[in-house]
Chains A and B, each alone.
Chain A
Amino acid sequence: MSEIHIEHPTPKKYVQIAIVLGVLTAIEIALYYTEDIVGVFTDPLLIILAVGKFVIVVGWFMHLRFENKLINRFFTGGMILALILFAIVMFERASANFF
């Protein structure tokens, strides 16, 4: 059986990634407590940080960045469908009022 080998990161690299994730979480919590200072930028910044953490875990810990394109398509396909559903419902919530 012929196999193509793709190198994964070393344990040291994984620890570095975990430190980055920990720092991002600390920034999230700091943003929560400084909402009065950061103001309207708090929620967008929190979303950006969550997306960043999500991408890091999926890309590095789940190895998606090293995987076959087909796997990438299935995963991003699920994400896109969920985001479309979310966008449609939120649009309806804002425009039509559910109650």
Chain B
Amino acid sequence: MSSSHAYPHEPTGVETRKLGMWVFLSTEILFFGTLITTFMIFKGRDFPGIKLTDVYDIPFTSISSFILLMSSLTMVLAHNALEANDQEKTRVWLLATAMLGAVFLAGQIYEFTEFYHKGFELGTNIFSSTFYVLTGFHGLHVFIGVVLLLALWSIGQRQKGLSLDGGMNLEFVALYWHFVDIVWIVLFTVVYLI
């Protein structure tokens, strides 16, 4: 059974680095909140050029969404394995998470390419610009997450193993990864389904 720790010796009762990570995620909520708000201003209005609803592929995006959702499971299993000090399982789940993230990214690149071929480009109209900025920034976050996961996996391979006390902490990368997932949960509904 895994456990989390409280820090009574810290003035806040929380590990400072962990608090810092949550504050960072809080600012990221505002960042994506602003992008989503901008997207929603222009959604549903008539603009010249092809519409998003004419080009998107819901079955394909649904599978991508499911893959990213399941990467949160593999991430939490990696965290759980490290708390149990099972280094091998930690590395396996970390690599699985990075691979699922890479598959999601490949899907997004394919989707963007298809949209471009069908005429829904960054400069088609202001709505298409907000779409690419919003989903593109999310993709950039996924890419950074994959790099962090592979870096952690590489550190785990080369050194004696990962620890929850190190500077490059799996817990913080896990928090970042789950955050990327919850942003997509919102985007999938707001951008594609509604």
Q: Which residues of A are at the interface with B, using a C-beta cutoff of 8 A? A: 1-8, 10-11, 14-15, 17-18, 21-22, 25, 28-29, 31-33, 43, 46-47, 49-50, 53-54, 57-58, 60-63, 66-68, 70-71, 74-75, 77-79, 81-83, 85-86, 89-90, 93, 98-99
Contact = CB atoms under 8 A, between A and B. Distances in A.
A14 B37 contact: no
A7 B1 contact: yes
Nearest to B40: A90
Contacts of A62: 174-175, 178-179, 182
Contact of A98 (B30, B41, B179): B41
A10 B83 CA distance: 11
B182 A8 contact: no
Q: How large is the interface on B (under 10, 10 to 19, 20 to 34, 35 or more residues)?
A: 35 or more
A78 B2 contact: no
A14 B77 contact: yes
Interface of B: 1-9, 12-14, 18-19, 22-23, 25-30, 32-34, 36-37, 40-41, 45, 58, 62, 65-66, 69-70, 72-73, 75-77, 80, 83, 174-175, 178-179, 181-182, 185-186, 188-190, 193-194
A77 B158 CA distance: 40
A25 B76 contact: no
Closest 4 CB pairs of A and B: A82-B33, A78-B26, A78-B29, A50-B189
Nearest to A86: B37
A67 B175 CA distance: 13
B83 A8 contact: yes
Nearest to B187: A50
Contacts of A50: 185-186, 188-190
Given A8-B83, A57-B185, A78-B25, A85 B37 contact: yes
B40 A68 contact: no
Given A8-B83, A67-B4, A28 B193 contact: yes
B178 A8 contact: no
Nearest to A55: B182
A68 B189 contact: no
Contacts of B185: 50, 53-54, 57
Contacts of B66: 22, 25
A49 B47 CA distance: 30
Contact of B36 (A11, A25, A81, A86): A86
